[in-house]
Amino acid sequence: MERYADILIIGGGLSGTMLAVQLLRLPLQQRILIIEPRAELGRGEAYSATELGHTLNGNAARMSVDPDNPDDLTQWLTTYIADGGWPESADQDVPISELFAPRGLFGVYVQERLAQAQVVGARQGSTVAHVRAEVTDLQINGGEVQLTLSDGQHLRGSRAVLATGMFPAARTPQTHSSGLNAAALDPWDVAAMRDLDPQSTVLIIGSGLTMVDAVVSLEQAGHRGPIEVFSRHGLLPHVRRQPPAWVDFLGEDFSISTPRQLLREVRRHCRDAIAQGVDWQAPLDTVRGHIARLWSQATDVQRRQFVRHVRPWWESHHHRSPPLSAELIERLHSEERLRIHAASFKGLESDNGDVVTIRIRPRGQIDTCLMSGAALINSSGIEYDWRRVARPLPQQLLARGLVQPGPLALGIAAVEGAVVDAEGRVSDRLFAMGPPLRGMWWESTAVSDVAAQAKALAGRLVNNLRD
């Protein structure tokens, strides 16, 4: 039996759910199906976390899902806490706007906004339904989109949106596997970590925010042994602070366009801020609003220069750690339980169940060496290259030529959300938003990015349906 919808949303995490919210708010009768294998919408990879220690890396004032109301999460939390929810929030001793909420709680917030939008949509005859399955294939035939699902169902629709979210390296099968994931613990699986010897050595590949989550998981599991972290540059995320406003220097000078010019100006303003007694994060935070413009205007050569020479520092300085997690990292580092190594992972040597051994190459050296521990965790971040993602839908879309890799093979190519196929044609049936557009905008994963894209794409889809 086939079901039909005006809009098929593939993925029911933050991206897909926020798109549904925006669609339901618009005055047009629509049938919307969200295809998501998880039991709940609005969570996805990021907000399915259940531990209170796994928090957002932005404070409430930065994490609204409503692009028209930056205080939306703050207002929701105010009511939620007043009603007795999240009593642990009192431990942070800051205004609600500066709270770093647990990611699982953020998922509840997203779900409530969806429920409210469904009430609004029902008044004008719009509906949304959750189809719990994975999309394994997509075809465009006869002016409509046809989906094949993992449970054998077939869905048809006028338009489809790829809201597939992020593919965490730790949970994503790779087309060219190093064997790392088969031997590694899930960074968020506290229950599995409780089975470790509390005094054993744990090896972690990657030193970004996923590593921070992994260390929080180990701490909550009662692990008290050494933690050895390996990443190419050995950089840790800085702690997220709340700096004062700074002049929008990129908004005043549009001649700044190349990575070298950007880096020079950012450093100059950060030095000026420090000289004035202002947090260096203040001028850096003004850059965020211009990244999409700078990235889209850049040549491929300039983008490669940014990725090769600037990206590690951009990631560690911009994608910062929530304060409580940063405090844990700093404490473990000062106790010498956590050690950071600037070294590249070169392969898995052995995994006999009790000991796992990896080969690494220290930065600046030619020779490799071996490191062993009781457990290994892959915290190498997100896989954005769809050619490397061994999941049915990305592979089928690429094989059918319905999508093409985005710039530098990051995500997929699109024009104003409309997917570009292998022949360079812009689709009027297939769209994308959120992390799949990493190559188009560079920053396409933050809540503010997703919220803005959801509103813009919803408007375009509705206009498209009216035509």
Phi, psi of 33, deg, nearest 5: -115, 130
User: Does any domain span residue 232?
Assistant: yes
pLDDT in tens, 221-263: 999 999 999 999 999 999 999 899 999 999 988 888 888 888 8
DSSP code at position 319: S
Phi, psi of 2, deg, nearest 5: -105, 145
pLDDT in tens, 364-379: 999 999 999 999 999 9
Which residue carries 């409780």 as its tokens?
A: 194
Identify whether residues 368 and 388 lie together within a single domain. no
Q: pLDDT-based confidence at 2, cuts 50/70/90?
A: low
Cα distances from 365 to residues 313, 362, 401, in angstroms, run 21, 6, 42
Q: What is the pLDDT of residue 405?
A: 97
Identify whether residues 125 and 11 lie together within a single domain. yes
Q: What is the pLDDT of residue 354?
A: 84
User: Does any domain span residue 369?
Assistant: yes
Domain residues for the domain of 155 are: 2-54+102-167+384-466
- 467 has pLDDT over 80: no
Report the distance separating Cα 321 and Cα 208, nearest Å: 9
Q: What is the pLDDT of residue 257?
A: 81
Q: What is the pLDDT of residue 231?
A: 96
pLDDT in tens, 64-111: 999 999 999 999 999 999 999 999 999 888 999 999 999 999 999 999
Which residues, listed in sequence order, are joined to residue 137 by a DSSP beta bridge? 148
Identify whether residues 119 and 267 lie together within a single domain. no
Which tops the pLDDT comparison, 438 or 142? 438
Identify whether residues 462 and 404 lie together within a single domain. yes
Q: pLDDT-based confidence at 398, cuts 50/70/90?
A: very high
User: Does any domain span residue 75?
Assistant: no
For residues 388 and 167, the answer to whether their CB atoms sit within 8 Å is no
Q: What is the pLDDT of residue 174?
A: 85
Which residue carries 């190559």 as its tokens?
A: 439
Identify whether residues 107 and 42 lie together within a single domain. yes
- 121 has pLDDT over 70: yes
User: Does any domain span residue 65?
Assistant: no
Q: What is the pLDDT of residue 182?
A: 82
User: Does any domain span residue 61?
Assistant: no
Count the helix, strand and coil residues of the chain and give each as a percent rounded to the nearest 5. Answer: 40, 20, 40
User: Does any domain span residue 210?
Assistant: yes
Tokens of 156: 């048809």
Which residue carries 């942070």 as its tokens?
A: 92
Look at residues 296, 318, 340 and tell me which one is the last residue of a structural domain: 318
> Mean pLDDT score of the chain, rounded to an integer?
94
The number of domains in the chain is 3
- 1 has pLDDT over 60: no
Look at residues 378, 394, 412 and tell me which one is the last residue of a structural domain: 378
Identify whether residues 22 and 116 lie together within a single domain. yes
Identify whether residues 216 and 162 lie together within a single domain. no
Identify whether residues 146 and 290 lie together within a single domain. no
DSSP letter for each residue of 139-191: EEETTEEEEEETTS-EEEEEEEEE-----BGGG--BTT--SHHHHSBPTT-HH
Cα distances from 275 to residues 245, 268, 271, 278, 345, in angstroms, run 16, 11, 6, 7, 39
DSSP letter for each residue of 3-26: EEEEEEEE--SHHHHHHHHHHHTS
Least confident of 69-73, 271-275, 348-352: 348-352
pLDDT in tens, 284-314: 999 988 998 899 889 999 999 999 888 999 9
Tokens of 63: 């994490």
Tokens of 345: 């992972």
Report the distance separating Cα 90 and Cα 52, nearest Å: 13
Report the distance separating Cα 38 and Cα 356, nearest Å: 31
Identify whether residues 277 and 344 lie together within a single domain. no
For residue 356, the domain's CATH number is: 3.50.50.60
What percentage of the chain exceeds 70 in pLDDT? 99
Burial grade of 136 (CB within 10 A; 0-12, 13-18, 19 or more): middle
